[in-house]
Every structure is written in C-alpha cells, then in structure tokens.
A and B are shown apart, each in its own frame.
Chain A
C-alpha cells in the first residue's frame, strides 16, 4: 500500500470539509492526510439545513467528503449547499469526494416515463458549483459523462483484494451475481489470480421493485470456494439468492466482497440465514451498529485509498495509476 504523506504545512492550500453522511470515514481520511476537518452543517427549527463554514477558504482547494448514502435526499441537498457555501467563500476549487453515489442505479430509462435520476443528481452537483468529482465504484462508469466536469472513479478492490487474499482461499471461483457484474468479476479474477469465473443469471421483474431471483448459471462451482463480487448490497436479495443457489450447486465456502453495504430492510436477517460465510464490505457509507457488530460482516476501510486520491488531486499526480489492473 502507498504511504500517504501530505499535510497542511506542506500543502497549505487545501481544506477538508465533511457533511453528516459519513463522519467516521472523513475523520480517518483527515487523520491520514494530517489535516484538520470541519463539519459546517446544522439544522434550523423547521428542518432546513444551514451551512456555515468556519475556516478561511480564500484561494484554497476545498475537498468535501460526502457519500450520498441514506438518508439519501438529505445528504444530497446537504452536499449541494456545502458546495455553494464553499464557492461563495472564494475557494479556488471545490472537489467533491463521493465514496457512495445515491441514485446511481437509476442511470438510464429502463422503462417509459421515468427520470434518469442519477443524471439529475450529477447535474445538480455541477450547477451548485463543483469543479471535480471523485467517486468509488460508481454503479456504471458511463455516468461520468452526465456532466462536463472532471470525474474520477476509483475502485474499492484496492482495499478489498488484500482482505480477501488474507483468507488464503484455494481453488477459488469468482462469481458475478448478475449479468451486469461480469466485467467486475473478471477484474477481481485477475487481481486475485483466481482460475475460474462463473455468472449467476437473474431475472428482475421491473414491476416488482427490489425483488429478484437467481435462475441459472454459467460456470462450475462444485467443490470449490466461491467469492461473489458486487458493487453494492441494498436489501440483500441479489447476493443472498446467488449465494444460496451456489450452495445448491455444491460450492464449498462462500464469501462476498462488496463495495457499498447499505443493508436496507431485512438484509442482515437474510444474510444471517444464508449460505454466505462472510461479507466483506468497505466503509464507503456510514454503518449502523447492527452492521458493525454483525459476525458475518467484515469491514475494510477505503480511507487510505481516498486519502491517496485526494493527495494526488492536490499534487497533480496520476489518479489512474491508483487503479490496480
């Protein structure tokens, strides 16, 4: 892992801000960067958010760390208002660090008369005045094209792969729990030197929200250890169905490596009852206590990755070389 060394005395021109979305992660990043960090958010009596930024931002680069995880709508508006306040305080550049991008799954018109919500969010961030965006495992990288501003996307495999390697799993098959995740699975296959790849097919009924079912698969898992990889666990249906299906097909030990762990609804209960041995997720979103205490869930931090990315943005070094291929 790269040693991240940057601090305000070397680079006096940057300021870190965080909203309320994921303060523990923001604090970790600030610590790695040996920098102060400020939270400018408070709430008025009527529920409207108020921003008041304390440090001087004049001619400085401002990094705002705010994943738009649940409560998603509040975290989005909070981000917009922070960007606006930072711009008006004469900062020279506002860089938005969004480890999780809410609404990123609504990235196309999958049926008639729906919005492209992800494009709405991206455009709002641009209109509020952001000069640059950094995301982590955005649902589809095409979303970077929604706006004109520079948009870098880094991969959580930087943090997840070492955690998986530590498990010393032999005879490992990387499995994508749906058709859309095949390139991610291939990527992990290369990263972990796994010999095989499998894909679980799933058919999603669009008229029933959040319900999915594993139906068939390509590949062989019998007698093998399995690692399911995905960008997010929301209500958990996709990954739990896939895991149980793989167990039926004779898989030995079943793990999952997932970037964003939302664990909505009864996800934890489903995972508890499932064939999954361990789910490794990052701290891209703020986890509830039930998640951090859950024995089936292992959390690895993306703070070193994001700190390094912030350092490279600040020093003008390559971000793409942060992406291990």
Chain B
C-alpha cells in the first residue's frame, strides 16, 4: 500500500502514514505561472493499492482539480486500486435543488470521482448521512465522534453536562454521542432564510438550566450557528458553553466571531488544515488520523 497526499492537508496525511508505519510516497505538484498544476508521481505504482489523502476545503475548486489529476496519474500509471480519503468533502451541502435553477453540485463531484476511477472512498462526518447512497462504489462515512467522546469524558468527568444539537439536522449525531457517553441531550430548532442564508428563528427543546452545555455539530462555517446556539443556551440558564465540530471550515470572520463569543472553548479536528492566521486562543485541534488509519488497516 502506497500513501499519497495532495497539497490540501499534508500534516494530516503524514500522521495517517505514521500511524500505518509508512512514509508518504513522493509526488511533485508543480504550479505553472498560469495556475495550471502538473502532477508527477515519483514512485512506481504498477499493481499497487494507492491511498490518496486530500480534503476538498477552500480553495475547493483547486483542491478538487488536484485530486482528479492525481487519481488520473495513479490509474494511468497502473495502480490497481485507488482508495480516496477525503476528510472534508467539498460541495456536500449542495445535495439537492434548494431553489429552481440550481444544480446539485455534490452529485457532479460524486459522478466525477467515480468516473476517474476511484475504487473506494472514506469521508468524515457527512452533512447528510444519505450521501454515500449516491455512489456506486463503496463509500464510508467515518466519524470523529469517538475522539470527541474521549475528550468529553476527560474534561467533564464528575460533572453533569448536557449535549446540544444546534439544529434538527444534527439529531442523529447528537443521539449517537449521547449513547456513547450516557449524557442526555437537547436540540435547537433553527430556521434559515433561504434568500439571505441567515438564521431567522430558533427555539430550544429541553432543559439546560444550571448545566454546562456541549454543542456538537458537523462543521463550523461562519460560526453563526454556534454563537446563536450559545446565546440561546445561556439565556435558558446554561452555566457555560463548549463547542465541538468535526470540520473547521472557518469561513469569513468565524475565528474572530468565536473568539469573541461566550463559548469557553472550541474543539475541532484536523480534517481541514487551519492556516495560522485563522487559529485563535479558544481553539483546540483534535486528530482523526488514527480513525482514518484504522479504517485502512
């Protein structure tokens, strides 16, 4: 088994390789002055199983193109089986036509991933659990929840926290971690305006009075969902707020918004490499490398 990394998240790829007692296979990714990339694999791949690790976070289009070209190089060079580990799956939220005239970008990406010859896909904490169904190749939705559960056990043992899903879309996720930890949960019903994308209404289902609230979500984009939930929980008597999210998309001013919010600490994973200028004091990064490595074993 050979492990290749694109340029989106090399530190994670190195960790996964390390956990498998392997080194990353060398690949040259040259960028021409006009922005075109040229991929050159530096190692023989004939008849090998190749694992490619590439997240498709921002710059999403460039990361996808790099991924497609790397897979093409692997297949044309004779790799027998190509495994893709895509810790963050770009365009996954555009999974249906929200309004007339839109496309289904997720399905375009899925179609291409299959067409270029990928044999198996591993992703993390998909926004919708129905996404693997659109693939005809084996597609596994791995989860960072075991990593979160362990952290919560360490940080909150002896206390009586409560888990919170910030919207109804996260109900399955919150049930799962609630069962893992034997900690109860509450949910928030959140409404978004489809035109502006901003949160327009929300209500809390359950009691949080006097408890530490732990919000669990799949991703942090602009951070507004987390901050909105935190304010609502505090208003309802929660004593302190902690946030857990698998994918640190951290769009726009998310880092600043979270740092200045009433949330005490924000836990994310390394599915997306966070640039230095987006890191903030309240942020703690946990690793999903072991989960990915175990899936490959």
Contacts and interface: CB of A to CB of B under 8 A. Distances in A.
Interface in B200-229: 221-222
B257 to A, nearest CB: 12
Nearest to B253: A45
Q: Which of B65, B93, B222, B252 has the most CB of A within 10 A?
A: B65
Interface string A158-187: 000000000000000000000000000000
Nearest to B77: A113
A81 B116 contact: no
Contact of A89 (B60, B65, B68, B101): B101
Contacts of A70: 34-35
A318 to B, nearest CB: 32
A39 to B, nearest CB: 12
B34 A80 contact: no
A234 B33 contact: yes
A113 B69 CA distance: 11
B142 to A, nearest CB: 21
B282 to A, nearest CB: 20
A158 B195 CA distance: 45
Nearest to A236: B33
Nearest to B108: A84
Given A81-B105, A106-B38, A47 B58 contact: yes
Interface stretch (A123-131, A191-199, A239-247): A123-131
A48 B103 contact: no
B35 A72 contact: yes
B39 A114 contact: yes
Interface of A: 40, 44-54, 69-74, 76-78, 80-82, 84-89, 102-103, 105-106, 109, 111-117, 119-120, 123-124, 127-128, 209-210, 234-235, 262, 264-265
Contacts of B60: 46-48, 77
B115 A45 contact: no
B104 A210 contact: no
A71 B35 CA distance: 7
Contacts of A51: 101-103, 105
B188 to A, nearest CB: 21
20 contacts: A44-B251, A51-B103, A52-B99, A53-B101, A73-B35, A74-B59, A77-B60, A85-B101, A88-B103, A111-B40, A112-B77, A113-B44, A114-B73, A115-B70, A115-B72, A117-B37, A123-B115, A123-B116, A127-B112, A235-B33
Contacts, number: 156
Contacts of B221: 45-46
Contact of B32 (A49, A109, A119, A210): A210
Size range of the interface on B?
35 or more
A115 B34 contact: no
B62 A115 contact: no
Contacts of A109: 76
Contact of A48 (B65, B76, B94, B97): B94
A120 B75 CA distance: 12
Given A264-B33, A264-B34, A49 B76 contact: no
A249 to B, nearest CB: 28
Contacts of B115: 123-124, 127
Interface in B33-70: 33-45, 57-62, 64-66, 68-70
Contacts of A115: 39, 69-70, 72-73, 76
B91 interface: yes
Contacts of A49: 61, 105
A88 B61 contact: no
B90 interface: yes
Given A85-B101, A234-B34, A47 B39 contact: no
A116 B76 contact: yes
A123 B68 CA distance: 11
A119 B72 CA distance: 9
Given A48-B91, A120-B69, A234 B35 contact: no
Nearest to B79: A113
A203 B100 CA distance: 53
Contact of B90 (A48, A52, A80, A117): A48
Contact of B36 (A47, A106, A119, A124): A106
Contact of B111 (A48, A127, A209, A262): A127
A113 B45 contact: yes
Contacts of A78: 61
B112 A54 contact: no
A166 to B, nearest CB: 30
B249 interface: yes
B252 A52 contact: no
Contact of A77 (B33, B61, B111): B61
5 nearest A-B residue pairs (beta carbon): A85-B103, A115-B72, A264-B33, A113-B41, A265-B33
Given A115-B72, A123-B115, A84 B33 contact: no
Contact of B102 (A52, A234, A262): A52
Contacts of B36: 72, 102-103, 105-106, 117
A103 B36 CA distance: 7
B156 interface: no
Contact of B101 (A40, A69, A103): A40
B280 interface: no
A120 B72 CA distance: 7
Given A45-B222, A46-B60, A81-B108, 11 more contacts: A45-B197, A45-B221, A46-B249, A46-B251, A50-B94, A76-B61, A77-B61, A84-B105, A84-B108, A116-B72, A120-B69
